[in-house]
Amino acid sequence: MQWTDRIRQVKFLLVCAALVICAASLSWTHYLVADLAREERGRMEVWAEAMRTFDMADEQTDLSLVLKVINGNNTIPVIVLDENGKVQTYRNLEVRARNAADVEHVVLQKALAMKAEGRSIRIELDEDAGTFMEVCYDESIMLKRLARYPFIQLGVVLIFVVVAIFALLSSKRAEQNKVWVGLSKETAHQLGTPISSLMAWTQVLRETYPEDTLLPEMDKDVRRLQRIAERFSKIGSLPEPKPENLNNVIGQVVEYIGRRTSNRVKITANLPEQPLIVQLSAPLFEWVVENLCKNAVDAMNGKGSITITAMEEPTRYVVEVADTGKGIPKSQWSNVFQPGYTTKQRGWGLGLSLAKRIVEEYHHGRIFVKSSEAGQGTTFRIELKKS
């Protein structure tokens, strides 16, 4: 199992745990709100009965308890309608209107809305006369706040989790960058001494055997090692991009890869006739294209064709590297640039990760998988903004 797959599984488990916590919180709040709603309905039934007693009271009726019940409701909005649907009284209701007629209209509309939601209690006054009153009520402010509270709480928790994950990923990325920078600079430092020695021995051999035809090739390889060491030394620093002809940069890559791959691999460069002058760090950008070509050779098992295309668009320069290899599953397109991702038995899986870093951080461009089909091949696309 790949390292990136394990990270994905951990993220999936964390998301599942978060969803379970959210569902449990919402369910518990729902049951709690339902219990309080039933309790409020019971209180309103008692209040409605008190209103009926108050309406039918005579001189001998003790209204002290009735008034205490009626006046004790200070939280639940309530509207009392008669049998004709007219507003008799209302309580704990905030009404904004310009005149008395507008007030009655607004209150009546609210009463009808309460009835439509099933929050009304009908109290019969005189069955023979057909008189009754209807008590319409709304949820209390406390109940509404309680119903909204879990969503606010979950929103705050979600923001906290997102910020925490972002901070952890940033810290992890910074730590990885430090490791890569240290490893690269140490590699450049370690290569420096043997390269200097090889350059000296090459010079000695050239003076001793000036006619030897192999010495120019050895000299090219030594200079190549020197260029590789230079690339490693630039990782972690901010190299100054210089105007470079993109066609020449790609041409050097094609020449180098072509001399070091099998004859069964055909490398073609589709370059425009006019120079493409781009702000580049040539040693690092060559590394990117070389990595894509080497991965393509591995994906084709040493047999197939690689096509490198450079073009100019209105707002950017584009380089595409296409191969005829085994392809990449679409689900893995974004993972190929993750550190540690590799399909080979050997290798650290850092090539494409470093390529992405060079393109995005040093050249402010983007690199991505443009297309890929199983058994047909893959096309990587690099986009560089025009200055």
Residue 225 in any domain: the answer is: no
Closest CA to 282 of 313, 319, 253: 253
Q: Is the pLDDT of residue 368 over 90?
A: yes
Least confident of 64-73, 228-237, 331-340: 228-237
Measured distance CA(257)–CA(308) in Å, rounded: 12
Residue 174 in any domain: the answer is: no
Task: Pick 271 or 347 by higher pLDDT.
Answer: 271
Rg from Cα positions in the chain: 39
Question: Which of 31-40, 116-125, 189-198, 318-327 is most confident?
Answer: 318-327
Q: What CATH number is associated with residue 27?
A: 3.30.450
Query: How many domains does the chain divide into?
Result: 2
* Final residue belonging to a domain, choices 83, 113, 139: 139
Q: How many Å is the maximal CA-CA distance in the chain?
A: 135
Residue 80 in any domain: the answer is: yes
What is the pLDDT averaged over residues 125-134? 78
Q: How many other CB atoms are found less than 10 A from the CB of residue 375?
A: 8
What is the pLDDT averaged over residues 121-138? 81
Q: What is the pLDDT of residue 35?
A: 84
Residue 193 in any domain: the answer is: no
* Final residue belonging to a domain, choices 120, 139, 158: 139
Q: Do 245 and 135 belong together in one domain?
A: no
Residue 178 in any domain: the answer is: no
> Please, which pLDDT band fits residue 27 given cuts at 50, 70 and 90?
confident
> Please, which pLDDT band fits residue 176 given cuts at 50, 70 and 90?
low
What is the pLDDT averaged over residues 49-58? 76
> Please, which pLDDT band fits residue 1 given cuts at 50, 70 and 90?
very low
Q: What is the pLDDT of residue 237?
A: 62
* Final residue belonging to a domain, choices 139, 163, 185: 139
> Please, which pLDDT band fits residue 191 given cuts at 50, 70 and 90?
confident
Q: What is the pLDDT of residue 62?
A: 67
H or E stretch at 224: helix 215-234
The DSSP 8-state label assigned to residue 117 in this structure reads: T
Q: Is the pLDDT of residue 280 over 80?
A: yes
- Please answer whether residues 250 and 289 qualify as being in contact, where contact means their C-beta atoms are separated by less than 8 angstroms: yes
How much of the chain is helix, strand and coil, in % rounded to 5? 55, 20, 25
Q: What is the pLDDT of residue 3?
A: 47
Structural domain containing residue 49? 3-139
Q: Do 264 and 380 belong together in one domain?
A: yes
What is the pLDDT averaged over residues 149-177? 74
Q: What CATH number is associated with residue 292?
A: 3.30.565.10
Q: Do 253 and 373 belong together in one domain?
A: yes
Residue 110 in any domain: the answer is: yes
User: How high does pLDDT run on average in the chain?
Assistant: 80
Measured distance CA(348)–CA(339) in Å, rounded: 8
Residue 133 in any domain: the answer is: yes
Q: What is the pLDDT of residue 386?
A: 85
Query: Which residue is associated with the tokens 């991702």?
Result: 341
Token representation of residue 302: 């040493």
Q: Do 135 and 244 belong together in one domain?
A: no
370 contact partners, CB below 8 Å, separation of at least 6: 320, 379, 380, 381
Q: What is the pLDDT of residue 179?
A: 66
Alpha helix positions (H), the chain: 3-55, 64-71, 100-116, 141-208, 215-234, 246-259, 282-299, 351-357
What is the pLDDT averaged over residues 95-109? 79
Least confident of 49-63, 73-87, 288-302, 368-382: 49-63
Residue 305 in any domain: the answer is: yes
Q: Is the pLDDT of residue 345 over 60?
A: no
Query: Which residue is associated with the tokens 């449990």?
Result: 24
Q: Do 135 and 247 belong together in one domain?
A: no
Alpha helix positions (H), 59-214: 64-71, 100-116, 141-208
